Structure 1
Amino acid sequence: MGSIRIRGRRTPTAVLASGAVLTVLCGCTVQASGEERRTPVHIELPSGTPSPKSAPPDDKPSATPTPPGQPAVLWSRGDEGRDIRELQARLRQIAWLFDGPTGTYDDLTEQAVRGFQGKRGLPKTGKTDEVTWERLLTMTREPGKWDLYLMGGQPADAPDARCMTGRVLCISKSSRTLRWMIDGRSVLTVPVRFGSQYTPTREGVFSVYWKSRHHVSTLYDSPMPYAMFFSGGQAVHYSSDFAATGYAGASHGCVNVRDERAIAEMFDQVRTGDKVVVHW
């Protein structure tokens, strides 16, 4: 009866949020010894728990084992999740990507990674492997929450208790989101932007007292489409600047919406007198 021999090798994986942390993958070859010789079977066995910052999404299909001498691929086109947002945010920091972050590894992300790799003499695969990721980490800083959600896409927090009855524009400064709610049910949820520290958006309970579909600000001479006024000159309205620059800017006190289709739909449903709650 033949014996079984297992040979292991260790491959460093560079992944971390603020330094270099190693994730170890062991590749084992199982083969028969003695007179009977069979084709070796290559088995990949994980060792330890991967860092959440570098591990591929849980629902990613099992990848083909990495050939010896080549860095393992962490993410590639089609992958989604928080890790992809971080990759995109870091690429934005060094001007290889200008859109997003979206959280989806799309063609623009692939092109940005390929360009980054080529500039540094790495194989231009467009896939983020261990070596590419380590190099990117050394050149960038840890992204903050609003770097990851610069163009929206963040989850909304739970509605304020004052939003649970009637028809309400429920606006959270904490999650920077607006829920259009009817009797406790969220009809639409969109990311929003607020005023700066010098022109803050007022907090409290208000009501929509005037709607103006094609409004233009007389104070700032700027368009405010789909404006729903709730406190003096402050209104919920569409902002083309928010759509273009995300949270890199701020309003003059109004609640900006970047999704024109969504606010157009909301504008048609909201009535004068509907409640507005602005809360943390």
Structure 2
Amino acid sequence: MTGRRVRARTARPLWGLIAAAGLLIPAGIVGAPAAHAAGPGVTAGERGAAPCSLSTGPYQEETERHLGLTVDGVQSATDCAAIQAFQVKHGINPAQGYAGLYTYRAVVWEEALARPGGPGGCPATSGVVVCIDMDRQILWVEEAGAVVFRPVPARTGMPGYPTRTGWHEIFDREKEFWSTLYDGPMPFAQFFDRGQALHASYRDIWEDPGSHGCVNLRYEDAKTLWNILRLGDEVYVWGRRTGD
């Protein structure tokens, strides 16, 4: 992690912008609702569930602990049913009850949401900063040290295409951008370092490989960020994405 950068920036309250956009929720922290976890136009229920796997996954104990199951690190029919329901809820495909990496990423995200005092790890600034934790594959927004956009799952760069760490700044925004380099859509693109941007993705957010360096988000999460961020807002990136 690089050192804190102190900048002379006038803080602006995001609460007014969020409320004006109809995004304020009673909990006081904003993010995409669970109903959009599977992506635009596809619900978790529509994905359905694959046959239940009785194999023990590499993240069995962590998943058991998170779901309130008996923590013994051994898959059972009860474990599989609970893990499968969790996977369907979050649009993890296939939803077969196996505690693999994608399931663990969803566990980490839920635990970051529930962490008292916020997810932690992002340097405090006097203004707005988009916090991107590649270790946990999550993104959130703080203003003057307070979380104003709750953590959401993110997908950062794959090996060979790393998302660049350190301090950045949003310098360009394109609502309907098409990448000519990779021949694909980048809705709600907000560029922070050369060609790397925050943007919506139509792929499952949990899957590998990672991106080509951009920070991929679920469609509704990227749309919400588009409505509350502006040119000049800071972005701080740290950690490293791990895969299968």
TM interval, shorter chain, is: 0.5 to 0.7
1:251 aligns with 2:211: yes
Give the one of 92, 100, 103 matched to 2:87.
Answer: 100
The question of 1:170 aligning with 2:131 is answered: yes
CA distance in 2, matches of 1:215, 1:103: 27
- SS of 1:262 mapped into structure 2: helix
- Looking at structure 1, the residues matched to 190 and 200 of structure 2 have their Cα atoms a distance apart, in angstroms, of 10
The equivalent of 1:261 in structure 2 is 220
- CA distance in 2 between counterparts of 1:76 and 1:231 reads 42
1:180 to 122, 127, 141: 141
Aligned equivalents of 1:278 and 1:221: distance in 2?
Answer: 26
**Alpha-carbon distance in structure 2 between the residues aligned to 1:254 and 1:102:** 26
Query: Residue in 1 aligned with 2:171?
Result: 209
CA offsets, 1:150-201, max 9 Å, x none? 698443341322x443101110011110011111121222110011111111
Give distance in 1, aligned partners of 2:186 and 2:107. 19
- In structure 2, C-alpha distance between the alignment counterparts of 1:236 and 1:17, rounded to whole Å: 31
| SS of residue paired to 1:248 | coil
Please say which of residues 181-190 and 225-234 is displaced more in the overlay: 181-190
Instruction: Select the structure with the greater relative contact order (CA < 8 A; seq sep ≥ 6).
Output: 2
C-alpha distance 257-248 of structure 1, shift in aligned 2 (>3 A): same
Q: Per-residue displacement from partner, 1:204-240 (whole Å, max 9, x unpaired)?
A: 1000000111011121110000101000000010010
Q: Name the CA distance, whole Å, in 2 between partners of 1:200 and 1:73.
A: 39
| Residue in structure 2 matching 1:149, options 105, 111, 114 | 105
Question: Is this contact kept in 2: 1:169–1:178, CA < 8 A?
Answer: yes
For residues 78 and 159 of structure 2, the distance between their equivalents in structure 1, rounded to whole angstroms, comes to 40
Pair 1:192 & 2:154 matched: yes
Q: Is the 8 A contact 1:170 1:180 kept in 2?
A: yes
**Partner of 1:214: helix, strand, or coil?**
strand
- State the SS of the aligned residue for 1:100: helix
- SS for the counterpart of 1:149 is helix
Aligned partners of 2:172, 2:90: CA distance in 1, in Å? Answer: 37
- Give the CA deviation at 1:267: 0.6
| Alignment-derived partner of residue 52 in structure 1 | 71
Partner of 1:279: 238
Please say if residues 208 and 272 of structure 1, whose CA atoms lie closer than 8 Å, have aligned partners that are also in contact.
Answer: yes
Paired residues of 1:173 and 1:278 also in contact (CA < 8 A): yes
**Runs of 5+ consecutive residues of structure 1 not aligned to the other structure:** 1-15, 19-49, 56-71, 78-83, 89-96, 114-139
The CA RMSD over aligned residues, in Å, is 3.8
Q: Which protein is bigger by CA-based radius of gyration? A: 1
Offset of 1:261 from its aligned partner? 1.7
Task: Report the 3-state secondary structure (helix = DSSP H, G, I; strand = E; otherwise coil) of the residue aligned with 1:240.
Answer: coil
- CA contact under 8 A between 1:102 and 1:153: conserved in structure 2? no
Structure in which a larger fraction of residues adopt strand: 1
- Evaluate the alpha carbon distance shift between residue 231 and residue 54 of structure 1 in structure 2; reply closer, same or farther with a 3 A threshold: closer
Alignment of structure 1 residues 23-62 onto 2, 5 Å: 51-53=70-72
Gaps of 5+ in 2: 1-55, 59-68, 113-118, 240-244
The letter for the 1-side match of 2:213 is: G
Query: Corresponding residue for 2:62?
Result: none
Q: Is the CA contact 1:176–1:193 (under 8 Å) kept in the aligned structure 2?
A: yes
- Preserved contact between residue 109 and residue 136 of structure 2 (Cα < 8 Å): no
Q: Following the alignment from structure 2 to structure 1, what is the Cα–Cα distance between the partners of residues 77 and 100?
A: 25
Q: Is the 8 A contact 1:235 1:255 kept in 2?
A: yes
Aligned residues: 166
| TM-score (normalised: structure 1) | 0.50
